[in-house]
Amino acid sequence: MLVIKVGGSEGIDYEVVCDDLAMLVRAGRRMVLVHGGSFRTNEVATALGHPPHFVTSPSGYTSRYTDRATLKIFEMVYCGEMNKGLVESLQQRDVNAIGLSGIDGRLWEGPRKQAIRAVANGRTRIIRDNLTGKVERVNTALLNALLDGGYLPVLTPPAISYDGEAINVDGDRAAAATAVALRATDLLILSNVPGVLRDFPDEASLIPDIAAADIDHVTQTNTAGRMRIKLLGAGEALAGGVARVVLGDARGDRPLQRALAGEGTVLRP
């Protein structure tokens, strides 16, 4: 079992990703795809007059401030344009993809954060209308039924809270929770960088291997915002029994096969 997360950042050619995915499907790999949509959400939100706003937690993690209006735009892009675009691209390659969000069939369930602390200009504020949370439960019965039926599940945030509210969750950590729940051997988290960089954005400073025990140390010294949360997700996956996480590059030819071959930053327990 293989879980693949392809990030929603700029510069990713999803047609190339789908070509590679179709090859793996034809080779008989049992897989789930998780995708993001952050870059396009920023564009659409700005075009609709509700520009994006990000908050940084005291521990240094950055996330999208998600009020109700933002959540609707988020769903338009993640569940509409991005998810159906990927499903269509895969269908054109004879992959019988099914796109689902975490609220469909309570696929990704977890607690909503009642309040978050956000740091700006050295001051900490409490934000209460933020529709965010994290995935604690994965509907593996639904995913396994779809996989057994020959479908490729294509999953996207939002998730659903225990109270039935749509909540924005981090896609990397949702992919990690999915990998753990499905007892995946491998989790690939691909974005628009080659992996974890010692000196971001110097791509020559790629760290090829990280042991689980060293993740905290690397996170503390790696200040590039998005990679911190990917490392957090990677650590959660390894702690939950996934044998290997690869933080790889979604750009260029055959990005999935290159990550499977160990290109990028490989993390092991």
Is 240 near a second copy (CB under 8 A)?
no
Cβ-based burial of 143 (10 A; exposed 0-12, middle 13-18, buried ≥19) = buried
- Tell me, what DSSP letter sits at residue 132? B
| Closest by Cα among 94, 91, 116 to 170 | 116
Is 224 near a second copy (CB under 8 A)?
no
Query: Binding residue for a second copy (CB under 8 A) from 103, 174, 245, 267?
Result: 103
Nearer to a second copy, 16 or 142 (CB): 142
Is 69 near a second copy (CB under 8 A)?
no
Instruction: Return d(Cα 184, Cα 176) in angstroms, integer.
Output: 9
Is 261 near a second copy (CB under 8 A)?
no
Nearer to a second copy, 62 or 96 (CB): 96
Nearer to a second copy, 108 or 233 (CB): 108
Query: Binding residue for a second copy (CB under 8 A) from 6, 17, 31, 97?
Result: 97
| Cβ atoms 238, 212 nearer than 8 A | yes
The structure tokens listed for 77 are 């892009």
Alpha-helix residue ranges (DSSP H) falling in 93-150: 140-148
How far lies 105's CA from each of 53, 68, 214, in Å? 29, 21, 37
Shortest distance in whole angstroms from residue 188 CB to a second copy: 23
Candidate segments 70-78, 170-178, 215-223, 232-240, binder of a second copy by CB under 8 A: 70-78
Q: Phi and psi dihedrals of 192, rounded to 5?
A: -100, 30
The secondary structure element, H or E, covering residue 24 is helix 14-26
Alpha-helix residue ranges (DSSP H) falling in 30-170: 38-47, 68-75, 83-91, 140-148
Shortest distance in whole angstroms from residue 148 CB to a second copy: 10
Query: Binding residue for a second copy (CB under 8 A) from 16, 98, 116, 212?
Result: 98
Query: Binding residue for a second copy (CB under 8 A) from 23, 76, 119, 127?
Result: 76
Instruction: Return d(Cα 114, Cα 108) in angstroms, integer.
Output: 18
Per CB under 8 A, which of residues 131..190 are in contact with a second copy?
141-142, 145, 149, 151, 158, 160, 163-166
Residues contacting a second copy: total by CB under 8 A = 42
Binding mask 44-63 for a second copy (x = CB under 8 A): x--xxx--------------
Shortest distance in whole angstroms from residue 58 CB to a second copy: 30
Q: Which residues partner with 189 through β-bridges?
A: 5, 247
Instruction: Return d(Cα 235, Cα 179) in angstroms, integer.
Output: 12
Residues of this chain that interact with a second copy (CB under 8 A) are 44, 47-49, 72, 75-81, 83-85, 87-88, 91-94, 96-101, 103-106, 141-142, 145, 149, 151, 158, 160, 163-166
